[in-house]
Chains A and B, each alone.
Chain A
Amino acid sequence: AQSVTQLGSHVSVSEGALVLLRCNYSSSVPPYLFWYVQYPNQGLQLLLKYTTGATLVKGINGFEAEFKKSETSFHLTKPSAHMSDAAEYFCASGGTSYGKLTFGQGTILTVHP
């Protein structure tokens, strides 16, 4: 069975600082990996995804993530945080059938002025 672990339920950064949100996955087969963002009382929006090929994936709003098979990690980064980045972020893993996703617990990002 797949599982996704996000380290840190809350991350706080200053505006302009580096954002690093951690995600580790457990899978018996190479996974498909996703990062989604959720603003309060809204649905989830896709930030980026890794399927095959290049291990450094660029997404929307300046975010990127690197797939590291040896570390079973898919951490999300952004060089400079903006106030509008404040939201909850979810890492997810896709299996090989039916398009089902397994989600991590979520990380709430707070950005201070």
Chain B
Amino acid sequence: DGGITQSPKYLFRKEGQNVTLSCEQNLNHDAMYWYRQDPGQGLRLIYYSQIVNDFQKGDIAEGYSVSREKKESFPLTVTSAQKNPTAFYLCASGTGGSGANVLTFGAGSRLTVL
């Protein structure tokens, strides 16, 4: 079945450490997105990519980095510069282009900073 796989599901990090969250899709979608979810704040866009080797900052990109070396993969690195990284992170993919395209979401990764 086609879908999006995020790993790990749960991750604990010490302050000052970088961590990388994996996102893989087999839907042949061109566009991929990373959202951060905090209670009561909905989802906020971190980064998005429309094509391989190209990506753009979203609304809250500070302290995060991404790469898009393959169409299927869009890993997110949470760096030590992110002041409050504890959150639920959601990866999504879509056909891109139009604002009418439906996003397919992964099951999420919950990051906790100790």
Contact = CB atoms under 8 A, between A and B. Distances in A.
Interface of A: 4, 6, 9, 31-32, 34, 36, 41-46, 49, 51, 90, 94-101, 103-106
A95 B99 contact: yes
Contacts, number: 79
A97 B100 CA distance: 9
Interface residues of B, number: 32
Contact of B96 (A36, A43, A98, A106): A98
Interface in B11-68: 31, 33, 35, 40-45, 48, 50, 56, 58
Contacts of A90: 42-43
Given A99-B94, A99-B95, A106-B40, 8 more contacts: A43-B105, A44-B105, A45-B105, A90-B42, A98-B31, A98-B50, A100-B48, A105-B41
Given A9-B40, A105-B41, A106-B42, A43 B99 contact: no
Nearest to B98: A99
A51 B90 contact: no
